[in-house]
Structure 1
């Protein structure tokens, strides 16, 4: 059981205690609904967590000793982020986040040198990720950041785990990874889609829709998010009247569009990657209103150069993470790394992935994958009682003094549980403007 809390700055106010189905309910115009832009997960008092996969839970007070002293460490990190394929629009901000973190760590000059080796993940229609992982492992990387796609990560996670290397995704959201047998080596800064599905389902209900159609990518990401969305929407009193699947690599979606529109739903959710560029114009071309579409993190993108003005004005979508507009000079520094950036999705999560890997290695005074994994939960604040830090320099100085740290980054507090999942997560709700760009509304 979990508590769901609304997070706003440092202030937390509990909205409701979720049932085992994790639904939040409040009756409005005959349909139960609630709008939530951020959620905090904490275990209910007196309830012990069961071991997940082959990971043994650790009590929050169980802390490993951090040995004081200077460090002289060289850390090599690989990446498998999308330079090609259906999620290629996410690659540039994610790689910029990685590079910015590497720069900040190296500029601190506190006994750790980090090298990043960038490789492509492609998508599930190719074996690009396997080739990239094989190359990275041959270069003796300690950790691999990626993939962005849950489906892609599923194709390489066993290979990475077998090599004793940490896999750390900034964007995987499939619930399947929570209990995966990963020998404590798989971690992520993105929250499970059990959360995004709940936020989106409640938003669709809150907007007054009673029936919902869905067009869904048939992979671990798409079907997992669709299941959570459906459960929440129907728990809120709505009905999913059509759910059509397609496969990665498909380029014609006429059958799915015809089947969903024939059910005449009040709203349609598109759980896709960049297939949305084809589906959306075709769907609106049938006469379906563009402002009744709902998007997700896999396709929430700037469509100003892809669609006619106003095509999806008023449509909404969800995206894990804090609004980049609230992150001070972070976006400006990302643009110094890559001046061409137009989208910043998962950049903060990518930055924090590298920071947490580096801090865990620094705490362990060891760059092996196993030792990094041993300290990742602790440096996130998930166990022990570390002092709050928000940058590498302050954290490294504290660790060199033999102190514990609790890193809070640009993506939020993170705070890992025993499964390597973040226990605190922000899910933003966004709305498209007339120019087909989006802004956060909740």
Structure 2
């Protein structure tokens, strides 16, 4: 009887397997800084990625009508967390590609430890360290945001053009902070500016007053903080204001966070400005802005355009590659190289039809056209922002 029961169970399981769908869902990882120093930024970035996924599924699905699934993991802007999240996404969830991680150190760790050995393509929407450019990645690491080598230099030139000729620089001692700071210093000094203080600091300390006092001793009235506005950058900004160490404050993109406004109040941030990448004005950006606004998103939130583009582009690449992970990277280059039928955000049905017909397409993204160079990098546009009420508004474009 036991043998019969086992045989019957085996037959039932075999029938169930035969009755199951022939093709499983297609999974991509969404590895974000859900906790940690950019926790306030991450939700909007994940939301914009999910907008792209929902557009794919609502317009016929991916490949032969399968659902595209975003598997969310928390990289926490921490190398170990990122490695763990990437390992889970690749080895347990079976993702075919990854959007993220969000922070530079997390990108470097996850790529070196997990995705490069596994041959998984990743597109980070916000990992900006120049170190990412030099990864030996077998052409599997891309980004839809420009390197901080561009941002640091653009910020330096913009400050000099605005009459700020002497600054002190405080930067977080990680891949993001160091890369941005070195690019800023090189350009600022080359163009005739004076760096009155230049120092790294460790994250998540209770007090930075001694650091600030040392930086202020150089006589600059402007402090450039290259850190995260949800973490130690906020603490440093608060303590600088409380103790009157500096009169003016400048942040990079990591400081363009809602957290300083919520915690310190807009009235106390009238001399605070920050730089950040922006989407280039285009029909594609207008299409995205409307679609994201329609689901309750803020199109002006940082990195939402780059997050959306990274996700939609990977979907296009997977459609072209036929779910073959070894072909995704090459397909990613082919769907956005300046040649072919233009595809705007949300135009999934059109793109799917053209890909099926063997027609070349060229994705025109919300954040730009994303024609990748040999290292998987893209050019970009930046702007300088000031605090306005509960948010930020552009005060100048940065060349």
TM-score class, shorter-chain normalisation, is: 0.7 to 0.9
SS at match of 2:70: strand
Deviation at 1:162, TM superposition (A): 0.9
Deviation at 1:393, TM superposition (A): 2.5
* Structure 1 contact 185–370 (Cα < 8 Å) conserved: no
Name which of 294, 313, 318 aligns with 2:250: 294
Deviation at 1:221, TM superposition (A): 0.8
Pair 1:146-2:103 in alignment: no
Distance in 1 between the 2:31 and 2:130 partners? 20
Pair 1:95-2:53 in alignment: no
Change in CA separation of 1:162 and 1:361 when aligned onto 2, cut-off 3 Å: same
Which whole-Å deviations, capped at 9, do the CAs of 1:140-167 have from their partners, x for residues lacking one? 1011111111011122112111111111
Change in CA separation of 1:368 and 1:374 when aligned onto 2, cut-off 3 Å: same
Q: Which residue of 2 aligns with 1:8?
A: none
Deviation at 1:92, TM superposition (A): 0.6
Q: Which residue of 2 aligns with 1:315?
A: 272
Higher relative contact order (CA 8 A, sep 6+): 1
* Structure 1 contact 90–343 (Cα < 8 Å) conserved: no
Backbone CA RMSD of aligned residues: 2.3
Q: Which residue of 2 aligns with 1:40?
A: none
Gap regions ≥5 residues in structure 1 = 1-71
Q: Which residue of 1 aligns with 2:133?
A: 178
The 5-angstrom pairing of residues 255-334 of structure 1 reads 255-273=210-228, 274=230, 275-290=232-247, 292-302=248-258, 303-322=260-279, 327-328=285-286, 330-331=288-289, 333-334=291-292
Distance in 1 between the 2:366 and 2:135 partners? 27
| Structure whose alpha-carbon radius of gyration is higher | 2
Q: Which residue of 1 aligns with 2:385?
A: 430
Name which of 80, 89, 109 aligns with 1:155: 109
Which whole-Å deviations, capped at 9, do the CAs of 1:23-63 have from their partners, x for residues lacking one? xxxxxxxxxxxxxxxxxxxxxxxxxxxxxxxxxxxxxxxxx
* Structure 2 contact 44–297 (Cα < 8 Å) conserved: no
Distance in 1 between the 2:210 and 2:109 partners? 29
Distance in 1 between the 2:366 and 2:305 partners? 5
SS at match of 2:386: strand
Deviation at 1:74, TM superposition (A): 4.6
Pair 1:248-2:199 in alignment: no
As a proportion of its length, which structure holds more helix? Answer: 2
Change in CA separation of 1:325 and 1:186 when aligned onto 2, cut-off 3 Å: closer
Distance in 2 between the 1:110 and 1:171 partners? 27
The 5-angstrom pairing of residues 75-86 of structure 1 reads 75-86=26-37
The 5-angstrom pairing of residues 34-433 of structure 1 reads 74-109=25-60, 111-112=62-63, 113-124=67-78, 127-137=80-90, 138-158=92-112, 159-273=114-228, 274=230, 275-290=232-247, 292-302=248-258, 303-322=260-279, 327-328=285-286, 330-331=288-289, 333-334=291-292, 337=295, 339=296, 344-364=301-321, 366-381=322-337, 385-390=339-344, 391-422=347-378, 424-433=379-388
Which whole-Å deviations, capped at 9, do the CAs of 1:402-425 have from their partners, x for residues lacking one? 111110111111111121111x31
* Structure 2 contact 116–140 (Cα < 8 Å) conserved: yes
Deviation at 1:266, TM superposition (A): 3.6
**TM, length-normalised to structure 2:** 0.85
Distance in 1 between the 2:287 and 2:190 partners? 41
Q: Which residue of 2 aligns with 1:62?
A: none
Gap regions ≥5 residues in structure 2 = 1-22
Which whole-Å deviations, capped at 9, do the CAs of 1:154-201 have from their partners, x for residues lacking one? 221121111111111000111111121011111110101111011110
Deviation at 1:304, TM superposition (A): 3.0
Distance in 2 between the 1:353 and 1:362 partners? 14
Change in CA separation of 1:220 and 1:369 when aligned onto 2, cut-off 3 Å: same
Distance in 1 between the 2:140 and 2:177 partners? 24
Deviation at 1:363, TM superposition (A): 1.9
More divergent stretch after superposition (388-397 vs 184-193):
388-397
Change in CA separation of 1:436 and 1:205 when aligned onto 2, cut-off 3 Å: farther
**TM, length-normalised to structure 1:** 0.77
Distance in 2 between the 1:342 and 1:168 partners? 20
